[in-house]
Amino acid sequence: MQKLKTFSIGGVHPPENKLTDHMAIRDLPPPPQVAIPVSQHIGKPGQLQVERGTTVRVGTLLAKADGFISAAVHSSVSGTVKKIDSVIDSQGHRRQAVIIAVEGDEWEEGIDTSPELLEDISLDRGAIVTRIAEAGIVGAGGATFPTAVKFSIPEGRTIDTLIINGVECEPYLTADHRLMLENADELIVGTRLLMQAAGVARAFIGIESNKPDAIELLQERIRLKAGEGKIPEGFISVLALQQRYPQGGEKQLIQAATGREVPSGKLPLDVHCVVSNVSTTIAVYQAMQKNRPFVDRIVTVTGKALVAAGGGANLRVRIGTPLGAVIEAAGGVPDGTGKIIMGGPMTGRSVTSLEVPITKGSGGVIMIDRSEARRYAVGHCIRCSRCVGGCPMGLEPYLLEKLVQKERYEEAEALSIMDCIECGSCSYSCPANRPLLDWIRLGKGKVGELRRARMRGTT
Amino acid sequence: MSTEHLIVALPPHERSSVSISRIMWAVVLALVPTTVAGVFFYGIRPLVLTLVAVAFAVAVEHLVVRYLFRRETTSITDGSAVVTGMLLAFNVPASLPFWQIALGAVVAVGVGKMAFGGIGNNPFNPALVGRAFLLISFPVDMTTWPVPGAARLSLDLSAVTGATPLALVKDVGSAGLGQVDLPSYLDLFLGNIGGCIGEASALAVIIGGLFLVWRGFIPWQLPLVYLAGLAVVTGVAWVVNPGIYVDPLYHVLAGGAMLAAWFMVTDMTTSPMSLTGRIVFAGSAGVLTGVIRLFGGFPEGASYSILIMNALVPVIDRHIRPRTFGHGKSGGAA
């Protein structure tokens, strides 16, 4: 194997705890009731298309995209709309949601639910992007940015590299790992579709070296497809990456793959790259080849006590399924659980209720034992510089913390506080348990306010 | 299941297992080889001296936290006072009176550390503050050196004393180095020489230092850069006039350079925050050490050079910042 690539600044090594990486994906049947928020993405909420009493099937449009940065939302079940209500989502926000009482499992006509692999792809760039938008696909890695927007490349701009993000650098999570193992061919077709959409002749699938089976399998399948003449030689290559958090951060991954640095405040587009997560790419395959909108996703349900007791799972879950039903299917909440996290342990949110619905960005549910869930007493900064050394953006978290505490936001801005990607490496590495990221996040909000005020001032 | 006892907190939910106390106790462990070497060469007294220093350092910290800061808890379990006590003891002659080291420990922790608010807030290395205080207050006792192996089991080492390797080569005058009987490099390396407890054995210090590098608690660059800075300055002098200046290897192995390189220059609280800044800090301290040794009033300059550089840390931190992602010239498309 070639030398493992990685990013150049900072990074930490949290314990992996990939406890569920050997568990095959299981289908979780639709629950008796789902709550599907009309906003599961970054951007404007979708425009509601149904009302109380509407009969829906799997794939029925519930809300259509409203404006450019927005996304469509489809029903993940068949049944009757019981009401439109607000629910608390995994981020703690109240969101308008469609509550559906489930009856049977009827799919919209034209959706192909068979496992048959369809490899012949459309060559029309515009048609692919339109279909991605119609299918309501958003970044499933957690960022939930509408995928169609990412691939709507503005006039005059060019992309030369597509990077498929199979890094899954968050501890515990194994959803993308399982998908790469079980749906390698679909991933390759999805990659070809996105290459077509972006107009590129080069794609990398970036995978951390702790998933050698996925690396090997994808390399083998790509060789096979090249041998069959389905894809040109060197068209798609697997990129084995060093295990290092946050290797899966968009900017870090682009640098590891191409050596290019996304300039501060700019987008991957500015260095001619576009990045798409594994789950997202497979959703693109489903949308294009099988006419299947984004109605379900893979969720890793894990935790030390859960897996030790024989539980844990990688489940294919219908969007809108309550958290409680997902946990129940994987063995239930173990005794002594002190915290339930939706997402990964480095960037996910802890939830207060088991009613929270699974949404398009929910890749994992982690149950943490009470002994590991509490925060430790905060000590003095001993200037050990571990936060500085760990920051993948080259910032000085200890100093940003102090500046924000003293409300010196302009200075924090000058020290690039807005470049923070909120990966949590600083708080993770602090030996004094200082909540560095909490303060930095507060500071980013304040600097954002300042900037908006300045914009108003000049116009 | 009831969810009312669930803990809600912002991410990250993972925490590194490296805590302040883990770092400090690792430093204590790293100082054990030097303690053993001290006992091997100077007998039982250095061990007792170290214990006295540690006991007073810890006691002062505890008393200040309890009765001046009025806190319910104590901070002594983090191990930092133990480190200060040990480093102070390693920076004095094995024959120093017990009451003097006790006083030194009180000043090191009380003035050098707690007066600034305790751990993390002290601008100067507390052990070196203590040593500077002792050197000014008790210049004779602080510069009387027992010779190795004089009295292994006795607490009185004053009978047989000698000069340190650095004192031997200081101001040799027109007669040149030829007239002095210098210790061999091997004796310097192993520690079979006169000097402070922790100055003696370069080998023991390196073993402890490598342990800290291996644990990831100190960057390997710092000791090397410090010693390189020292070697360059003393090397230039040696090339210009080898008759009166000893070679750089002698300087690197003799005196407090090794202890300073691995345990003082690498002190987290009193050094800059960026790696580049820390390298500049270490290199400058090395150069200053050489300058003081060659041209200053004292034969040894390790501790003063570091105290001077401690004072410059805010300046270094202001001007040398880590490279920020996406701001450099390497950005943009290929």
ipTM of this model?
A: 0.89
Contact B194, B147 (CB under 8 A): yes
Predicted confidence at residue A184, as pLDDT, reads: 96
B7 domain-assigned: no
Taking the CA of residue B207 and the nearest CA in chain A, the distance in Å comes to: 22
Maximum separation of any 2 CA atoms in chain B, in Å: 89
Contact between A339 and B268 using a beta-carbon 8 Å cutoff: no
The region that residue A43 occupies, defined by phi over 0 for left and psi between -120 and 50 for alpha, beta otherwise, is left
Shared domain for B170 and B135, answered yes or no, is no
Helix/strand/coil for A183? coil
Dump pLDDT digits (tens) for B103-130.
999 999 999 999 999 999 999 999 999 9
Last residue of a domain, one of B141, B173, B198: B141
Residue A48, strand partner residues: A63
Predicted confidence at residue A272, as pLDDT, reads: 95
Predicted confidence at residue B122, as pLDDT, reads: 95
Sheet with A161-166: strands ordered across? A236-241, A203-208, A161-166, A273-277
Predicted confidence at residue B334, as pLDDT, reads: 33
Contact B74, B66 (CB under 8 A): yes
Last residue of a domain, one of B78, B110, B141: B141
B325 domain-assigned: no
Sheet with A364-369: strands ordered across? A25-27, A313-318, A296-302, A364-369, A337-342, A349-350
Phi and psi, residue A275, nearest 5°: -120, 135
Shared domain for B262 and B306, answered yes or no, is yes
Contacts of A245 in chain B (CB under 8 A): none
Can you tell me the distance from the alpha carbon of B261 to that of B285, in angstroms, rounded to the nearest whole number?
A: 9
- Kindly give, in sequence order, each residue whose CB lies less than 8 Å from that of residue B171, ignoring residues fewer than 6 positions away: none
Cis peptide before B12 (omega within 30 of 0): yes
Mean pLDDT by 10 residues, chain B (334 residues): 78 93 96 92 90 97 92 86 96 92 97 94 96 94 79 65 74 68 80 77 93 95 97 94 88 90 96 96 97 87 94 96 81 36
Contact A72, A61 (CB under 8 A): yes
Tens digits of pLDDT across chain A (459 residues): 457 899 989 999 999 999 999 999 999 999 999 999 998 888 888 889 999 999 999 999 999 988 888 899 999 999 999 999 999 888 888 989 999 999 999 999 999 999 999 988 877 888 999 999 999 999 988 778 999 999 998 888 999 999 999 999 999 999 999 999 999 999 999 999 999 999 999 999 999 999 999 999 999 999 999 998 888 888 999 999 999 999 999 999 999 999 999 999 999 999 999 999 999 999 999 999 999 999 999 999 999 999 999 999 999 999 999 999 999 999 999 999 999 999 999 999 999 899 999 999 899 999 999 988 887 889 999 999 999 999 999 999 999 999 999 999 999 999 999 999 999 999 999 999 999 999 999 999 999 999 999 988 866
Shared domain for B41 and B118, answered yes or no, is yes
Exposed, middle or buried, B225 (CB in 10 Å: 0-12/13-18/19+)?
buried
Helices B80-90 and B20-30, packing angle to 10 deg: 20
Partner-chain residue, chosen from B11, B23, B324, that has the shortest CB–CB distance to A395: B324
Predicted confidence at residue B298, as pLDDT, reads: 80
- H or E stretch covering A277: strand A273-277
Last residue of a domain, one of B141, B170, B204: B141
Asked if A256 is an interface residue toward chain B (Cβ–Cβ < 8 A), one would say no
B156 domain-assigned: no
Contact between B118 and A380 using a beta-carbon 8 Å cutoff: yes
Contact between A346 and B14 using a beta-carbon 8 Å cutoff: yes
Of A100, A60, A23, A72, nearest in space to A364 by CA? A23
Contact between A271 and B333 using a beta-carbon 8 Å cutoff: yes
Partner-chain residue, chosen from A263, A346, A348, that has the shortest CB–CB distance to B332: A263
- Kindly give, in sequence order, each residue whose CB lies less than 8 Å from that of residue B278, ignoring residues fewer than 6 positions away: A385, B219, B221, B222, B271, B272
Shared domain for B73 and B111, answered yes or no, is yes
Q: Which structural domains are found in chain A, ordered by start?
A: 125-290 (3.40.50.11540), 386-458 (no CATH)
Cis peptide before A246 (omega within 30 of 0): yes
State which residue of chain A sits closest to B218, comparing Cα positions. Answer: A384
Burial profile A306-319: b = 16 or more Cβ within 10 angstroms, e = fewer: bbeeebbbbbebbb
Of A158, A301, A269, A278, nearest in space to A208 by CA? A278
State which residue of chain B sits closest to A384, comparing Cα positions. Answer: B268
- Kindly give, in sequence order, each residue whose CB lies less than 8 Å from that of residue A27, ignoring residues fewer than 6 positions away: A315, A316
Can you tell me the distance from the alpha carbon of B277 to that of B279, in angstroms, rounded to the nearest whole number?
A: 5
B155 domain-assigned: no
Contact A361, A138 (CB under 8 A): yes
Residue type, A43: G
Contact between A261 and B13 using a beta-carbon 8 Å cutoff: no
Can you tell me the distance from the alpha carbon of A453 to that of B89, in angstroms, rounded to the nearest whole number?
A: 58
B48 domain-assigned: yes
Contacts of B274 in chain A (CB under 8 A): 385, 388, 396
Q: Is the dihedral of CA A444, B326, A453, A397 positive or negative?
A: positive
* Interface test with chain A among B15, B25, B265, by most A beta carbons within 10 Å: B15
Domain housing B135: 20-141
Shared domain for B81 and B183, answered yes or no, is no
Shared domain for B278 and B166, answered yes or no, is yes
Contacts of B323 in chain A (CB under 8 A): 9, 394
Can you tell me the distance from the alpha carbon of A3 to that of A6, in angstroms, rounded to the nearest whole number?
A: 10
Taking CA atoms, A272 is separated from A188, A250, A421, B16, B133, in Å, by: 21, 13, 20, 36, 61
B117 domain-assigned: yes
Can you tell me the distance from the alpha carbon of A364 to that of A303, in angstroms, rounded to the nearest whole number?
A: 10
Shared domain for B195 and B281, answered yes or no, is yes
Shared domain for B208 and B315, answered yes or no, is yes
Taking the CA of residue B287 and the nearest CA in chain A, the distance in Å comes to: 24
Shared domain for B296 and B206, answered yes or no, is yes
Of A83, A71, A79, A88, nearest in space to A152 by CA? A71
Shared domain for B137 and B209, answered yes or no, is no
Predicted confidence at residue B171, as pLDDT, reads: 65
B175 domain-assigned: yes
Can you tell me the distance from the alpha carbon of B220 to that of B206, in angstroms, rounded to the nearest whole number?
A: 11
Contact A165, A276 (CB under 8 A): yes
B152 domain-assigned: no
Q: Tell me the pTM.
A: 0.90
Cα Rg of chain B (Å, integer) = 22
Report the number of distinct structural domains present in chain B: 2
Shared domain for B190 and B304, answered yes or no, is yes
* Interface test with chain B among A333, A385, A416, by most B beta carbons within 10 Å: A385
Can you tell me the distance from the alpha carbon of B257 to that of A93, in angstroms, rounded to the nearest whole number?
A: 59
Predicted confidence at residue B151, as pLDDT, reads: 63
Shared domain for B126 and B234, answered yes or no, is no
Predicted confidence at residue B330, as pLDDT, reads: 44
Contact A435, A387 (CB under 8 A): no
Exposed, middle or buried, A104 (CB in 10 Å: 0-12/13-18/19+)?
exposed
Contacts of B18 in chain A (CB under 8 A): 386, 429, 431
